Structure 1
Amino acid sequence: MALLDLVEYLDPTGNVLAARVPPDGSGELRFGSQCVVREGQLAFFARDGRFLDMLIPGRHTLTSANIPLLIELLKLPFGSKSPFRADVYFVNLQQHTDLKWGTPQPIPMRDSQFGIARIRAFGTYIIQVAEPRKLLTSVVGTRGRFTVLDVEEQLRSSIIARVADVIAEWMRERKLSVVDLATEYDELSEAAHAALKPDFAGLGLELTRFYINTITIPEELEHRLDQVGGVAAMGGLDGYTRFKAAEALGDAARAGGGSLAGAGVGLGVGMNLGALMGSALAPAPQPPAPQPAAQPGAKHCPQCGSTVPASAKFCNECGASLRTPACPKCSSAVQPGAKFCIECGTALS
């Protein structure tokens, strides 16, 4: 095993959370070896599974002054230049941005408008190491390198569970439908961020930012919503139906004119397309206004035909007398316009 006079770690990918030098086991060090810790890093010395000390950014020469615990654990038969085996762990403190999350399967939600709706959610988040010792002891263990990809699957599982709970609770408390969630992304992101922080802290990580970028609904529900919007835009179901009929006529005309066999049909339909669309889009004829029904006990004026009460003696529209004519001789009722009494034959003119 080679003697390490210089210990450092460079991350070419930017995705490493923690790395051990050397990666395959303990290295041979000695007092006087140097350790370079760059900005955004911390270095931890460990021996026999025990963390001895932490070095901050800078160039450090290993002496009993900066790692005093080594003296208690080492026996140096040849003086301070004797080599000893130790592990050096570098922890990356930079933020890891634009990490993506999403629901692999639709999540059923109880909806105030549609009953049950299946939604999918997607977004991004940012993390960084907050407690290096907790990360090394509870997550990294004996691995030589630990990256964001190694912990991302576990983080994604927590995110999906917490986000589903937050959205369901949000919809239940505010009686919202899935179509209303597009205006709630900021508030939902803040609520999900607060719910997820303890899960990340348990791994020694900090969830610095969390975003819900989109919440989608099934395609069949989107199609139905588009139809409802079309009906409303056309002023109701009747107007929407007539518009779709005109649209179908236009498609038929274009399809009929696409071949020689259908040229005649297409031409005929095309010539009449304007009239057909005009009639299809014309307002539906309104039914005639209902005439007022005659009231019980009412009668009609013989002059103008207006309806008047049965007890009326004159018409309230034309003023004509409504009294029944009588024979001057026998006083029998006679029909209006009669020339002779039907009872006694007396002339009425």
Structure 2
Amino acid sequence: MALFRKKSEGGLMDVIRCDEPEYLVWKWRPSGDANSTKKENAIRYGSSLRVKDGELAVFVYNQKDGGSQDFIIGPHDQTIKTANFPVLTNIVGTAFGGASPFQAEIYFINLSGNVQIRFGIPYFDVFDPRFMDFAVPMAVRGTITFNITDYKGFIKLNRLINFELDDFKIQIKDAITKYIKGVVTNIPLDNGIPVLQMERKILEINDLVAQYLGPRLEIDFGVNMKGLDIASLEIDKETEGYAELRKVTAEQTTKTVGAQTDVNIRNLQDTQEINAINMAETLRIQREEAQRAQKLQSEAQNLSVHQLNQQTDVAKTAAKSMGMMGSGGNGGSSGGGGMMDPGSMMASMAMGGAVGSGMAGVVGGMMQGMNQEKQTPPPPPQVQYSLSVNGQQSGPFAWQQIQQMVQNGQITKETYVWKQGMSGWEFAGNVQELSSLFGTVPPPPPPAP
């Protein structure tokens, strides 16, 4: 807005300023022909220029030769002098003695204001890369906010002469429509978001569009995009393409779930087979250990019997010798008249004592062993548990098998177990005699390099 005073010297301008409440670019220039020196059509030295904070005043001279510019950033309130505008030194002729009026165009640019544009992009086709035969119409609605920060870049890209904000908004809307359609159309392929899930991914899509749109508005129009708010991604759910896409997607999902179920069943079967092999191997080891212990016990018993037999033979020999004591060693045929042989008698008595002592020791040892066997209580009955994994029952498994399966990670605290005497299935971690097994389970092995 320009304010004039009717003065006697021809109505010269006293104050140049902009009083528009809302604007992006506001233009002022004197009336009359370009390069006219008439005072009523020109600006004179000594006029006052007022630029508010957040505004920029651009002086454009000599448009015919391409134009020269001076930039005055507010706040500014001074008279127009050559010292304030160095470019005037080369424009104003010395014939006027530094007091001649001059022609110029003055543009006020709002650097602090924000321009908001609402946009609505009508339906366009979006395709899922997995099912390219089905086009799904989608519309985008939202708001974009921008301002001017690089005013020199803005002036370079936009003609300030006859600048109209409405026309400028239309240009930006056209660019927004092109860019947003390009980004949204490629999101299923470039970012892996299925078409049927795009409505729920609006925040993620908003960020993707903003990353693409901001730099392009700056390059194409010289404006700074302060914010993008996509309010809705609307799919036309009444179209045949949408119905067909939902159908094939549901079928694909069913196949995927079925395949995953088959994999889980195979894994369970493999686990059960491994458990059966482990159980058979454990039982084989237990049988071999029992057979080995029984063999050792039999060998020990046979050794005792052998020793007893040997001592019995010795006793028999001693008894025979005692029977011959009266014969003097020659069967009673000597002339001794049946008198006892003292040497044979003493030898027989010594041998008999030794034999008796040995037999007593052997018999006593056997009796002691028998007593020990009778006193040793029989081993307690072996506790066995059944398992339930994903509704499949296996087992029962012995304690050693349970312990090994816990260490292998096949049984966790959340595995259902049952043994005879329990009222129902229970988590392994809640069974008192099993809970101690989980405190010593080593962590899982590190991943393969």
* TM-score grouping bracket, smaller chain normalisation: 0.5 to 0.7
Higher relative contact order (Cα pairs below 8 Å, separated by 6+ residues):
1
Instruction: Give the 3-state SS of the residue equivalent to 2:18 in structure 1.
Output: coil
Structure 1 position 170, deviation (Å)? 1.7
Distance in structure 2 (CA, Å) of the matches to 1:64 and 1:130: 28
2:217 and 2:190 map into 1 onto residues whose CA distance is 27
C-alpha distance 98-86 of structure 1, shift in aligned 2 (>3 A): closer
Counterpart CA distance in 1 for 2:201 and 2:20 is 39
Matched, 1:77 2:95: yes
Taking the aligned partners of 2:29 and 2:167, their CA distance within structure 1 comes to: 19
Report the counterpart of residue 292 of structure 1 in structure 2: none
Whole-angstrom CA distance in 1 between matches of 2:111 and 2:31: 23
Greater percentage in helix: 2
**Match in the other structure for 2:29:** 22
Alignment equivalent of 1:67, drawn from 58, 65, 85: 85
Aligned to 2:411: none
TM-score (norm 2): 0.45
SS in 2 for 1:181: helix
Which of 211, 223, 227 is equivalent to 1:194? 211
2:149 corresponds in structure 1 to 130
Distance 1:196 1:2 in 2: 49
Alpha-carbon offset, residue 190 of structure 1: 1.9
Gap regions ≥5 residues in structure 2: 1-9, 35-40, 251-449
Question: 1:178 corresponds to which residue?
Answer: 195
Task: Render the CA deviation track for 1:209-246: whole Å, top value 9, x for unaligned.
Answer: 11211011115159x87xx9xxx9xxxxxxxxxxxxxx
**2:136 corresponds to which of 108, 117, 126:** 117
Does the 8 Å contact 1:6/1:35 carry over to 2?
yes
**1:29 partner SS:** coil
1:174–1:88 CA distance, 2 compared to 1 (3 A): closer
Secondary structure in 2 aligned to 1:201? helix
Match of 2:108 in 1: 90
Residue 116 of structure 2 is aligned to residue 102 of structure 1: no
Matched, 1:43 2:57: yes
Cα distance in 2, alignment partners of residues 5 and 162 from structure 1: 47
Residue 176 of structure 2 is matched in structure 1 by: 159
The residue number in structure 2 matching 1:54 is 71
Post-superposition shift, 1:174? Answer: 4.2
Does structure 2 conserve the Cα–Cα contact (< 8 Å) formed by 1:47 and 1:85? yes
User: 2:28 is matched by which residue type in structure 1?
Assistant: V
Q: How many residues align?
A: 223
Residue 7 of structure 1 contacts residue 36 of structure 1 at CA under 8 Å; is this kept in 2?
A: yes
- Unaligned ranges ≥5, structure 1: 233-349
CA contact (8 A) 2:30 2:43 kept: no
* Map of 2:12 onto structure 1: 3
8 A Cα contact 1:158 1:199, kept in partner: no
Higher Cα radius of gyration: 2
Contact 1:3 / 1:83 at 8 angstroms: preserved in 2?
Answer: no
What corresponds to 1:251 in structure 2? none
Matches of 1:46 and 1:96 in 2, distance apart?
25
Q: 1:23 to 1:152 in 2, by over 3 A?
A: farther
Cα–Cα, structure 1 residues 51 and 169, in superposed 2: closer, same or farther, change >3 Å? same
Measure the CA separation in 1 of the matches of 2:50 and 2:182.
Answer: 45
CA distance in 1, matches of 2:113, 2:160: 22
Q: RMSD between aligned alpha carbons?
A: 2.9
SS in 1 for 2:154: helix
Distance 1:52 1:88, change over 3 A: same
Q: Which letter does structure 1 place at the counterpart of 2:140?
A: A
> Does the 8 Å contact 2:15/2:48 carry over to 1?
yes
**What's the counterpart of residue 31 of structure 1?**
45
Q: Deviations over 1:10-54 (max 9, x none)?
A: 223x2x221221376765112211111112210011111223311
* Kept in 1: contact 2:137–2:235 (CA 8 A): yes
Matched position secondary structure for 1:135: helix
Instruction: State the 1:76 CA deviation.
Output: 4.2
Distance of 1:133 and 1:170 partners within structure 2: 35
User: C-alpha separation between the residues in 2 aligned to 1:53 and 1:131?
Assistant: 15
Structure-2 change in CA distance of 1:70 and 1:23 (3 Å): closer
One-letter amino acid matched to 2:60:
A
SS of residue paired to 1:125: strand
Q: Secondary structure at the residue paired with 1:142?
A: coil
Whole-angstrom CA distance in 2 between matches of 1:205 and 1:24: 30
SS of equivalent residue, structure 1 residue 151: helix
Question: Match for residue 220 of structure 1?
Answer: 238
Question: SS of the counterpart of 2:56?
Answer: strand
Deviation readout 1:277-298 (Å, 9 max, x if unpaired): xxxxxxxxxxxxxxxxxxxxxx
- Counterpart secondary structure, 2:161: coil
Q: Contact 1:41/1:93 (CA < 8 Å) preserved in 2?
A: yes
Deviates more, 1:170-179 or 1:21-30: 21-30
**Aligned counterparts of 2:31 and 2:173: Cα–Cα separation in 1:** 29
> Secondary structure at 1:85's aligned position in 2?
coil
Q: 1:24 to 1:178 in 2, by over 3 A?
A: farther
Q: CA deviation at 1:81?
A: 2.7
